Structure 1
């Protein structure tokens, strides 16, 4: 067997492996089970996330069955997306499967009420970044200030009308804050001058990204919010290093 033959065979194998990897898109799980309050915007949110995933060349599965949280089934995914989940949605074995998935390199995206989930599970609290405390009544209008360029149409500031969460504590220092809201614009904010509303961080070998926005179904047609969500998907699935 000649050296040139071996080199050619190795090149073909490498080429095949690269082609297979390129042909196999990332896959995400969009999970929206609720055991408490259920947001009317969930179907709209799920559909928008499916479209965003497709635009990023990802496959997206949707489920409200916590039985998908096993090591074998989660191994199919690059990230899981919790869309306005509420309450205790995973049993002990399912929690263990999610924790192992993230700590072994998987990604997590939390949208809105993902912070109103699994209060009795300290690891999840660290993953999501901060738990929901309360919110002012109704929808409120405020300015969102992003730390990144390329999301808001002009500059880094965006005016939004949504349900604005107050959190049990300020996650700054544990996470990289990506956006804040201006409490001076509305009534009922309790976090003061520094009110984070979106953030990201690493969890062992995995990644987590969260936005507190997304209560109002209208937001899922807003190009600014969709760009915001797309960054979260790309970061969690490692298509981008920038969250």
Structure 2
């Protein structure tokens, strides 16, 4: 009998640690259960030094800093290149600054954010499992991440931030917030949302996460 496919949810932090991580794990366990996916949540970098083939996708849930060993970096890169799915949530963009491949994999790296506040997220592309359920303008309270570079042109942008709807944005009119891309034979999905514990109880955000994971894991 084949093993049940699973998600590997990685939450190791070597820099800022989000209080919302337990809520995120609980939400992912619930989503996994709805799709008969086991969820292995860990902060042990040794998990990346073993084969990752049984995982439908690897999720970096608000990781931060340098969280992988050199061997783990090689294993994760090989997994994605061979067709594995990778999902980054929120502070996943604040991770592995010393590993150039990771920045290319994710599409952009975190730069800064203003204060936590409500704002508007504009859905650019409804033809994706992570966004097809969302309204054209999605009202969200979060940290509105700015990125060191604009990933547009290297990624498929799904949602952008409307900087006129909140204070302190630094990227201007073109501010990607959620995107996806191919990497080798694998798929990568990233959402900058996910700062608060409360957002993981929001049905729209949970469907957003499930859609991103489903898409990334499709190969």
Structure 1 residue 141 corresponds to structure 2 residue 123: no
Inter-partner Cα distance in structure 1 for 2:91 and 2:191: 9
Other structure's SS at 1:142 match? strand
Q: Note the C-alpha offset of 1:26.
A: 2.2
Q: Note the C-alpha offset of 1:71.
A: 4.3
Partner of 2:175: 195
Partner of 1:49: 28
Partner of 1:150: 132
Any unmatched runs of 5+ in structure 2?
A: none
| Contact 1:41/1:215, CA 8 A, preserved across alignment | yes
| TM-score using structure 2 length | 0.94
Partner of 2:55: 77
Where does 1:146-185 land on structure 2 (aligned, <5 Å)? 146=123, 147-148=125-126, 150-152=132-134, 155-185=135-165
| TM-score using structure 1 length | 0.85
**1:27-78 residue CA offsets vs partner (Å, 9 max, x unmatched):** 1100000000000000001110111111122111110000000242x12212
Inter-partner Cα distance in structure 2 for 1:151 and 1:214: 18
Larger radius of gyration, structure 1 or 2?
1
Partner of 2:86: 108
The structure with the greater share of residues assigned to helix is 1
Partner of 1:208: 188
Partner of 1:8: none
**1:76-108 residue CA offsets vs partner (Å, 9 max, x unmatched):** 212100000000001111100100111011010
Q: Cα RMSD (Å) of the superposition?
A: 1.3
Match for residue 41 of structure 2 among 44, 51, 62: 62
Inter-partner Cα distance in structure 2 for 1:150 and 1:118: 31
Structure 1 residue 95 corresponds to structure 2 residue 77: no
Other structure's SS at 2:193 match? coil
Displacement over 6 Å in runs of 4+: none
Structure 1 residue 129 corresponds to structure 2 residue 111: no
Inter-partner Cα distance in structure 2 for 1:52 and 1:204: 27
Q: How many aligned positions are there? A: 214
The structure whose RCO (Cα within 8 Å, separation 6+) is larger is: 2
Any unmatched runs of 5+ in structure 1?
A: 1-19
Inter-partner Cα distance in structure 2 for 1:197 and 1:187: 16
